[in-house]
Amino acid sequence: MNQDGTPLEDNRACQNVAVLGATGSIGTATIDVLTQLNRIDPDFRWHVSAASGHKNTRLLAELASGLAEAPDRIVLSDNENAESLGADENQLRALGSQLEFGPEALISAASDKSVDVVVAAIVGRAGLESTMAAVEAGKRVALANKETLVVAGPVVSQACEKSGAELLPVDSEHSAIFQCIQAAASKPKKLILTASGGPFRNWTREQMVTATPESALAHPTWQMGPKITIDSATMINKALEVIEARWLFGLPADAIEVVVHPQSIIHSMVEFEDSSVIAQLSPPDMRLPIQYALTYPRRLPCPCPDFDRTKPWDLTLEPADPERFPALRLGFEVAEAGGTAGAVLNAANEAAVGLFLAGKIRFTDIVLGCHDVLKNHAHEADPPLDRLLELDRWARRELKKRFGLS
C-alpha cells in the first residue's frame, strides 16, 4: 500500500523530494533523514530528485555524490552557468544530473511535475518565490523557510486553499503544535510556543549592547545556520515564529503565548477549551520534525537519539521578558497588524543581521532598527505579493539609512 492507503501498482513506491537549500543546516539534516528512511524500508524509495545550493557548490557536489541515486537535477542558484563552477564542475558533471543555474531554476525545480514533496530550506526572503511555486503547484511543502509566511502569510494561505497544497511545518515549535493538535483531535484555544532564550537568556540589556557576533553565534542548544542563530539571540526568531504560527494555524495573535524553556525539550504546547495542555517532547534534533513533515501521517524510526531517562531531568519554564527582549513585542504587534507589517519586519531584520555580522552595528541595534523601520512604514491591510516585495526592498534601504549606511 502507498502511504496514503492507495494500492501499489508496481509493488514499489517512491516519493520524489526536492531539497531546496540542501547545503544548509536543515538541508543536510534532510538528506540524512532521507538516507535513513531508505534503510528502514527498502520497498519505499525516497529519491532526492532535485537539490539546490547557493554559494557552497563544493558541499552540494559532495552531498549529491554521497546519495545512492544521483538527483535528476541540481540547481546552483548563485551561479549563472557551468563556467562559474571552477574546480567543482567535474564532480558535478560526473553525476549525470541536469545542472541548472540562477534563481529561476529554483522555481522550476519546486513546481516540476515529477516532484511530490518540496523541502523549503532556503534561508530568508530568498526562499519565497520557490516556496510559493511549490504551493501553487499543489505540492506537499515541508516548510522550514518561516520567512515566507512572515512576509506573505495570507497570500500563501490563499494559494494553498486554491491549489490544495499541504503546508507541513518543519520549525520544531510549529511541528510540535501540529502534533499536539493531531493528538487531541480538537480545536486549540491557545498556542504556547517555547523559546530556549538563546545565548543571552540571563544577560542584562547593558551587557547585550556589547555582544559580539561570536558570542551571539554560540547557541546553547541548537546547531543552526548563522541567520537564525542571531535571530535566536535577539529573540526575533520567536517573533517570526509567533507570526508564522498566526498564519499556519489561523489563530489571532492574542491566542499565542511565548514561554522560555532553556532545555529545548518541550518544543511547544497547546491549550484546549477544557484548559488541558498537551505538549510535544523530544531531544533538540531537527531531524525529527523534518521527518514528520515528510512521512506524515506515518511515524517511523528516526535517527535522532532517545532521551537518557536513567538520569534526572530538569524541565523548566520561565516567563519571557519583553523588557530585555523587545523583539517579542514586535512579533505580537506584527502578527496582530498583518498586511504589510511582516514583510517590513522581516526585511529590516535580514538587513540588520547582515550589518551586525559585518561588524557595522551593535547587537541591540538589530531590534531597535527593526522597530524604527516598522514605525516609519505606512501600513496597508491587504497587499498583493508585488507590493510586499517592493516594501521588502524599501525596508532594507531604510534600515541602512537608519544607521547612516547605504
Does residue number 304 form part of the binding site for ligand NDP (CB under 6 A)? no
Does residue number 53 form part of the binding site for ligand NDP (CB under 6 A)? yes
* β-sheet with 13-20: strand ranges across: 98-101, 73-76, 44-53, 13-20, 117-120, 140-143, 166-169
Footprint on residues 352-391 left by ligand NDP (CB under 6 A): none
Residues contacting 290, CB < 8 A, separation 6+ = 26, 29, 30, 33, 119, 142, 144, 170
By beta-carbon proximity to Mg ion, the closer residue of 165 and 245 is 245
Binding partner of residue 222 among ligand NDP, Mg ion, none, CB cut-off 5 to 8 Å per kind = ligand NDP
Does residue number 286 form part of the binding site for ligand NDP (CB under 6 A)? yes
Closest residue by Cα to residue 162 from 173, 172, 154: 154
Does residue number 238 form part of the binding site for ligand NDP (CB under 6 A)? no
Are the CB atoms for 16 and 47 separated by under 8 Å?
yes
Length of the chain: 406
Q: Tell me the DSSP string of 40-56.
A: H-TTEEEEEEEEEESS-
Does residue number 224 form part of the binding site for ligand NDP (CB under 6 A)? yes
Beta bridge partners of 298: none
291: DSSP letter: H
Cα separation, 147 vs 252, in Å, equals 18
Cα angle 93, 94, 100 (rounded to 5 degrees) comes to: 25
Binding partner of residue 286 among Mg ion, ligand NDP, none, CB cut-off 5 to 8 Å per kind = ligand NDP
- Contact footprint for Mg ion (CB under 5 A): 171-173
- Choose, by CB under 6 A, the member of 15, 23, 97, 264 that binds ligand NDP: 23
- Choose, by CB under 6 A, the member of 17, 61, 85, 121 that binds ligand NDP: 121
- Choose, by CB under 6 A, the member of 138, 213, 220, 225 that binds ligand NDP: 225
Does residue number 25 form part of the binding site for ligand NDP (CB under 6 A)? yes
Cell numbers describing residue 275: 484548559
Does residue number 267 form part of the binding site for ligand NDP (CB under 6 A)? no
- The amino acid sitting at 97 is S
Residue 75: CB minimum distance to ligand NDP, A: 9
Using the contact rule CB under 6 A, the part of the chain among 110-118, 143-151, 260-268, 350-358 near ligand NDP is: 143-151
Closest residue by Cα to residue 179 from 299, 97, 98: 299
By beta-carbon proximity to Mg ion, the closer residue of 135 and 170 is 170
- Choose, by CB under 6 A, the member of 146, 246, 261, 371 that binds ligand NDP: 146
Decide: residue 268, CB within 10 A, 0-12 exposed, 13-18 middle, 19+ buried: buried
Using the contact rule CB under 6 A, the part of the chain among 82-90, 91-99, 116-124, 150-158 near ligand NDP is: 116-124
Are the CB atoms for 100 and 108 separated by under 8 Å?
yes
Does residue number 56 form part of the binding site for ligand NDP (CB under 6 A)? yes
Does residue number 77 form part of the binding site for ligand NDP (CB under 6 A)? yes
Cell numbers describing residue 269: 504546547
Does residue number 396 form part of the binding site for ligand NDP (CB under 6 A)? no
Are the CB atoms for 216 and 203 separated by under 8 Å?
no
By beta-carbon proximity to Mg ion, the closer residue of 92 and 367 is 367
Residue 9: CB minimum distance to Mg ion, A: 39
Phi, psi of 330 (to 5 degrees): -60, -40
By beta-carbon proximity to ligand NDP, the closer residue of 286 and 402 is 286
Query: Total residues contacting ligand NDP (rule CB under 6 A)?
Result: 27
Please give the residue ranges that form the binding site for ligand NDP (CB under 6 A).
21-27, 53-56, 77, 121-123, 126, 144-147, 171, 222, 224-225, 227-228, 286
